[in-house]
Amino acid sequence: MSDPTRPGLRRPATTAEPNPAPDSPLPAAAGSLGTGTAVDEGRAPVRVSVARRGPRRARLVVKHVDPWTVMKVTFVVTLVILVVLVVATAIIYAVLGQMGVWDQINNLVNSVAPTTSSKALHNPLTGSRIIGIVAIVGAINVILMTALLTLAAAIYNLISDLVGGVEVTLSDP
């Protein structure tokens, strides 16, 4: 008798006792591991041994990486890194400012540098200057990393056409 919810599968035959006693041997299910007891009507129970298999493995080959996807993912990841870097710089600047480190460095620079009328060296380490430099370097990093990794994806596609790609083996734990 077939199961209407799963075409092609058969339901096991029903017996007078729907739940076997806990100490009675259970019939071996198809694909189960270990040993079980196969019961056929009119015959004595037969012990069936099923071989244990190791973890399933799948061998895949990465032959193509979409450069557009690599560009989008790289852009987002490097943008997040930029935001984290700017926030971390602001926090570190604030902590060191509370400790008086920046005032001491600025006083040292003003005492060592010759007296000039230019205010460029008056306070060389201000928060806006340091965070601005970090933001500019981070923006350059976003542009360069996005371009370089997109180019790397295109080069990988050319090379994988020649050598067949990278083989990856996936397995169950």
The answer on pLDDT for 105 being more than 90 is no
Assess contact for 36 and 25: CB atoms under 8 A: yes
Q: Which helix (H) or strand (E) holds 61?
A: strand 57-62
Rg (C-alpha) for the chain, rounded Å, is 35
Tens of pLDDT, residue by residue over 12-70, are 554 444 555 555 555 545 444 555 555 556 677 777 777 777 788 888 888 999 999 99
- The reported pLDDT for the residue numbered 143 is 97
Exposure string over 23-40, b if 16+ CB within 10 A, otherwise e = eeeeebeeeeeeebeeee
Nearest to residue 137, comparing CAs of 95, 71, 73, 86? 86
The answer on pLDDT for 91 being more than 60 is yes
Give this prediction's pTM: 0.59
The answer on pLDDT for 4 being more than 60 is no
Question: What number is the average pLDDT over the span 69-94?
Answer: 96
Residue 171 confidence class, pLDDT cut points 50, 70, 90: confident
CA distance 83 to 85: 5
Residue 147 confidence class, pLDDT cut points 50, 70, 90: very high
CA distance 118 to 22: 93
- The reported pLDDT for the residue numbered 38 is 55
CA distance 54 to 172: 9
CA distance 93 to 134: 12
Assess contact for 61 and 166: CB atoms under 8 A: yes
The answer on pLDDT for 149 being more than 90 is yes
Question: What number is the average pLDDT over the span 147-153?
Answer: 97
Instruction: Count the residues in the chain.
Output: 173
| DSSP label at residue 50 | E
Both tokens assigned to 148: 């370089």
- The reported pLDDT for the residue numbered 55 is 82
Tens of pLDDT, residue by residue over 114-134, are 666 565 566 677 888 899 999
Per domain, the residue ranges of the chain are: 60-171
